[in-house]
Amino acid sequence: WPEIYKGCGAVNPPHVFRPLDLSSSVFNDPIHGHVEMHPLLVRIMDTPQFQRLRHIKQLGGAYFVFPGASHNRFEHSIGVGYLAGRLVQELSERQPELLISSRDILCVQIAGLCHDLGHGPFSHMFDSMFIPKMHPKSKWKHEEASLAMFDHLVSVNSLEPVMKDHGLVLPDDLVFIKEQIARPQNTVPLRQGWPYKGRPVGKSFLYEIVANKSTGIDVDKWDYFARDCYHLGIPNNFDYHRFLKFARVCEVDGKKQICTREKEVGNLYDMFHTRNYLHRKAYQHKVGHIIETMITEAFIKAEPHILIQGSGGEMFTISRAIYDMEAYTKLTDHVFEQILYSSSSELAEARKILHNITCRNLYKNLGQTQAKKRVEVSQEQLQEWASELATCRPESDLQGVTLKPGDFVVNVSIINMDWGMKEKNPINNMRFYCKNTPTKTTRISRDQVSQMLPDQFAEQLIRVYFKERDEKTVEAAKINYVKWCLDNNFSKPCGPIQLYPRTGPNRQDIIPPTLPKHSPHTTRGISSTTNLLP
């Protein structure tokens, strides 16, 4: 203990008694409290490229469902930069033999701060829904844009001399920062050699702090678990402070890996359970997803008519702005209001869709189903499914109703639920040490933890939305939807819709239920069809 605590009876003195660096800035964050930021981090924050993140909702369309989810990528990025510094400093102080330098710490903090620079309007809606529609063959993801935006930020703000003044060695440290944000392409697999150039294999653990591709346990998740739960009003069962206490670097298969105590395995399962719970309750909320689907369609219709000036005066559409960082800097959630409050006749269709969102005239969710096995779905397959849904009519269908493929949302929504590593159990890649043997590690199998843990760690949910709101048309669409699910060997839709059509032995006997208009099961005088909406 420091001399100051001797004789004072302190049981748990502060882990480290650090004086405030007078050159640093302090931010009051609702999640982490008073956060101290290095001057170079503040210099990066004070750029248009980083300030842009103030105008991109962290949870996209979920804000239309959860009134508290108004937080943005800006504050999340600050939190990740802070936590990245916390973890690497803990490791440095606990294990001086790791030879973690001040350069290493600063680079890890910068990577955490800048890891989300490439997000587009409404965050994941942009790269998982809008861009695949506009560029079906493109594999573009926001991590790719984060690298390009980081290069752009450093260049246009002349930050290289500033970085050198703070002790960074260029270009090596720039390479290291970018490798933490996104693993470089066209490199050898990790098991065949060391794919990184920024730091040697002796410091491999540094690549597990911001975005951990091995176990999925990283500071990005720690911040968004805490921050999203806080704003959503959902309990957070994972406490990163405890992980910090037990984090230790050990040698695993010739590489250094961040490990934790064996008694913490249950807490790590809780962490991934929290991730899955957030996806189910918020990130993949059916209404939030419907709204993002509608925003995507509005953006597609507005695409030819919204132009953004980029480098050299060239004009870019919304989807093409990802290829020019000067244009992309100007692309944020504000496009929603730009379309909504426009008066141009060219934007009339897009404007109507967004107006419907603000008036809560949303698409109907016909239900949710699952395939027996995971399916890979192309845009062509989604269009084919939409056509099938329009024509998949049972013999006992409602007469006088005509359904068109365009009535069904073309992108039959594929919602993937997993623990972060698709079908794999992420804990299988984690190594644990014991109190008496801190240099030796072991795996802990699922059966050693609990017999109640899941056997499968991924599932794929398929949702179909319907654009029309007419009661009779929606009723017909639901009947088609159930028959379509059965014909494709998908599970029968869950929720109220499973009571809606009764299927006979030939799966053709689909009969709508008949309930009185004022059933004792209804709370208001509305039709039974409306009451059965999932």
In the prediction, which pLDDT does 343 show? 96
Task: Extract the runs of DSSP E, i.e. beta strands, from 318-475.
Answer: 364-370, 413-418, 432-434, 437-442, 458-466
Q: What would the mean pLDDT of 471-491 be, rounded to a whole number?
A: 84
All structural domains of the chain: 19-284+423-449 (1.10.3210.10), 285-362 (no CATH), 363-422+457-534 (3.30.70.2760)
Peptide bond into 171 cis (omega under 30): yes
Most confident of 41-55, 136-150, 228-242, 452-466: 41-55
Q: What is the mean pLDDT of the chain?
A: 83
In the prediction, which pLDDT does 13 show? 44
Q: What SS3 state is found at 121?
A: coil
In the prediction, which pLDDT does 311 show? 97
More confident call, 490 vs 79: 79
Percent of the chain with pLDDT over 70: 79
More confident call, 139 vs 326: 326
Residue with tokens 């560029």: 135
Confidence label for 529 from pLDDT (cuts 50, 70 and 90): very low
Per-residue model confidence as pLDDT tens digits over 179-216: 999 987 655 555 567 899 999 999 999 999 999 988 88
In the prediction, which pLDDT does 469 show? 83
Q: Are 362 and 356 a contacting pair, CB within 8 Å?
A: yes
Confidence label for 128 from pLDDT (cuts 50, 70 and 90): very high
Per-residue model confidence as pLDDT tens digits over 285-304: 999 999 999 999 999 999 99
More confident call, 450 vs 488: 488
In the prediction, which pLDDT does 64 show? 98
Q: What SS3 state is found at 252?
A: strand
In the prediction, which pLDDT does 214 show? 84
Q: By CB neighbour count within 10 A (0-12 exposed, 13-18 middle, 19+ buried), where does 79 fall?
A: buried
The Cα-based distances of 134 to 36, 296, 358, 447 in angstroms read 41, 10, 24, 45
User: Could you tell me the two tokens for 189?
Assistant: 């697999």
In the prediction, which pLDDT does 187 show? 56
Confidence label for 113 from pLDDT (cuts 50, 70 and 90): very high
Q: Are 419 and 455 a contacting pair, CB within 8 Å?
A: no
Judge whether residue 1 has pLDDT over 50: no
The Cα-based distances of 478 to 410, 499, 500 in angstroms read 16, 11, 8
Q: By CB neighbour count within 10 A (0-12 exposed, 13-18 middle, 19+ buried), where does 313 fall?
A: exposed
Most confident of 128-132, 391-395, 410-414: 128-132
Q: By CB neighbour count within 10 A (0-12 exposed, 13-18 middle, 19+ buried), where does 70 fall?
A: exposed
Using alpha carbons, select from 399, 383, 387 the residue that is nearest to residue 472. Answer: 399
In the prediction, which pLDDT does 514 show? 43
Residue 142 a catalytic site member? yes
In the prediction, which pLDDT does 501 show? 47
Question: How many Cβ atoms are within 10 Å of 67's Cβ, its own excluded?
Answer: 10
More confident call, 265 vs 18: 265
Q: What SS3 state is found at 296?
A: helix
Judge whether residue 310 has pLDDT over 90: yes
Judge whether residue 461 has pLDDT over 60: yes
d(CA 396, CA 393): 8
Using alpha carbons, select from 331, 317, 306 the residue that is nearest to residue 149. Answer: 331
Confidence label for 409 from pLDDT (cuts 50, 70 and 90): low
Confidence label for 464 from pLDDT (cuts 50, 70 and 90): confident
Q: How many CA atoms lie within 13 A of 45 on its CB side?
A: 22
Q: By CB neighbour count within 10 A (0-12 exposed, 13-18 middle, 19+ buried), where does 348 fall?
A: exposed
Q: By CB neighbour count within 10 A (0-12 exposed, 13-18 middle, 19+ buried), where does 419 fall?
A: buried
Q: Are 400 and 212 a contacting pair, CB within 8 Å?
A: no
Contacts 24+ apart (CB under 8 A), 400-408: 400/472, 401/472, 401/473, 401/476, 403/473, 403/476, 403/477, 403/480, 406/467, 407/466, 407/467, 407/468, 407/473, 407/477, 408/464, 408/465, 408/466, 408/467, 408/477
Residue in 71, 76, 142, 285 annotated catalytic:
142
Q: What would the mean pLDDT of 22-50 be, rounded to a whole number?
A: 94
What's the chain's length in residues? 534
Q: What would the mean pLDDT of 229-248 be, rounded to a whole number?
A: 94
Q: What would the mean pLDDT of 98-113 be, rounded to a whole number?
A: 97
Residues 6+ apart with CB under 8 A from 181: 111, 114, 115, 143, 146, 147, 150, 210, 211
User: Does the predicted TM-score (pTM) go above 0.75?
Assistant: yes
In the prediction, which pLDDT does 424 show? 57
